[in-house]
Amino acid sequence: MSLLALIPARGGSKGVRGKNVALVAGRPLIAWTVEAARAARHVERVVVTTDSPEIAEAARAAGAEVPFLRPDELARDDTPGIAPALHATRWLDEHEAYRPELVCYLQPTSPLRRAEHIDAAVELLREKAADAAVSVTPVEHHPYWTKRLAPDGRLSDFLTPDPPITRRQDLPPLYALNGALYLVRRAVLLADETLFPPNTVGYVMTPRDSLDVDTPFDLELADLLLRARAG
């Protein structure tokens, strides 16, 4: 199964300026995702889609291909997340006649995701004959134990299980998307224009590996975790 690893990296990050090229454990943030993709056994090509020459340079230095710069209209704050994936997949078809069976969308803000996660997701998709596999992690705050706060300060349950659940071990397991990887069959991606079609299986990752870099604190935490891993 031919597999394209596609890494989206916009230049105009608002939460952390220059986030994708910020140094984390001595390397640009994006380099950690490029490294994971290149080391994955099932990955055939690693392509970065970006509007930024600076990010493109860092991506190439890490070993990725950057065959085009993304159009400005696909790098705005309100650009739908699926748009860069569709543009890059269609661009590679139209300009290089490259049509992999699978596309793995890897956001550079998940630097703790490793090659073995990518390979395991591919194997899960094959085993389940699924159209897509999306990474998830156990929820940190279960919705059965969340509350509403009224204007007068009174608390009420957000959800009301019947019977009430008072012990953590009795809570039904729930999972949240962690954004680390979206693996989808190319034909389904183009036909349905989604990374999350109906026939999607969940690939479970640990909370530690699911860190999503969105704030300066997240960058500091990623730096500590990656340095600890290297040590």
* All structural domains of the chain: 3-139+175-226 (3.90.550.10), 140-173 (no CATH)
Q: How far apart are CA 56 and CA 34, in angstroms?
A: 12
For the chain, the distance separating the N- and C-terminal CA atoms, rounded to the nearest angstrom, is 35
Q: In this model, does residue 204 exceed pLDDT 90? A: yes
**Confidence category of residue 81, pLDDT binned at 50, 70, 90:** confident
CA angle in degrees (0–180, nearest 5) for 111-108-5: 105
Chain centre distance of CA 200:
15
**Confidence category of residue 79, pLDDT binned at 50, 70, 90:** confident
Q: In this predicted model, what pLDDT tens digit does every residue of 30-49 receive, in sequence order?
A: 999 999 999 999 999 999 99
Q: In this predicted model, what pLDDT tens digit does every residue of 126-178 receive, in sequence order?
A: 999 999 999 999 998 899 999 999 999 999 999 988 888 888 888 999 999 99
User: What Rg value do the Cα atoms of the chain yield, rounded?
Assistant: 19
Q: Which residue has the higher pLDDT, 179 or 229?
A: 179
- Give the pLDDT mean for 177-206: 98
What pLDDT is stored for residue 16 in this prediction? Answer: 79
What pLDDT is stored for residue 80 in this prediction? Answer: 87
Could you tell me the pTM of the whole model?
A: 0.92
**Percent of the chain at pLDDT exceeding 70:** 99
Cβ 136 vs Cβ 204: under 8 Å: yes
- Give the pLDDT mean for 52-74: 96
What pLDDT is stored for residue 124 in this prediction? Answer: 98
1: Cβ contacts below 8 Å, ≥ 6 apart: 42, 101, 102, 122, 126
> Among 69-78, 87-96, 127-136, 197-206, which is the least confidently predicted range?
69-78
What pLDDT is stored for residue 15 in this prediction? Answer: 67
- Return mean pLDDT, the chain: 95
